[in-house]
Amino acid sequence: MRIQAALVEAPGGPFTVQEVNLEEPRRDEILVRITATGICHTDLSMRQIWPPQRLPMVFGHEGTGIVEAVGDAVTALVPGDTVCLTYRSCRTCEQCSTGEPAYCEHAGPLNAGGSRPDGSSPLSHANGAPVHGNFFGQSAFASHCLTTESNTVKIPADVPAAVAAPLGCSVQTGVGTVRTVLRPSAGTTLAVFGVGSVGLSAVMAAVADDYSVVAIDPIASRRELARELGATAVIDPTSGEDVVSALRDLTSGGPHCAIDTTGQPTVVSQAVTALRKRGTLALVGIGTAEFDTMPVMTKGITIRGVTEGDAVPERAIPQLIDLYRQGKLPLEKLITEFRFNDIEAAAEAALTGNVVKPVLTVM
Confidence band for 221, pLDDT divided at 50, 70 and 90? very high
Write down the domain spans for the chain.
2-154+330-361, 172-307
CA distances from 78 to 37, 175, 316 (A): 21, 29, 21
Tell the CATH topology of 2-154+330-361. Quinone Oxidoreductase; Chain A, domain 1 (3.90.180)
Is the peptide bond preceding residue 295 cis, with omega within 30 degrees of 0?
A: no
Question: What pLDDT, on a 0 to 100 scale, did the predictor assign at position 290?
Answer: 78
User: How far apart (Å, rounded) are the C-alpha atoms in residues 3 and 112?
Assistant: 22
291 pLDDT more than 90: no
Question: What pLDDT, on a 0 to 100 scale, did the predictor assign at position 91?
Answer: 96
User: How far apart (Å, rounded) are the C-alpha atoms in residues 203 and 105?
Assistant: 30
- Give the mean pLDDT of 132-156: 98
User: How far apart (Å, rounded) are the C-alpha atoms in residues 120 and 216?
Assistant: 43
Confidence band for 363, pLDDT divided at 50, 70 and 90? confident
Question: What pLDDT, on a 0 to 100 scale, did the predictor assign at position 289?
Answer: 76
In tens, the pLDDT along 230-282 reads: 999 999 999 999 999 999 999 999 999 999 999 999 999 999 999 999 999 99
In tens, the pLDDT along 28-86 reads: 999 999 999 999 999 999 999 999 999 999 999 999 999 999 999 999 999 999 999 99
**CATH superfamily, domain at 172-307:** NAD(P)-binding Rossmann-like Domain (3.40.50.720)
In tens, the pLDDT along 170-211 reads: 999 999 999 999 998 888 999 999 999 999 999 999 999 999
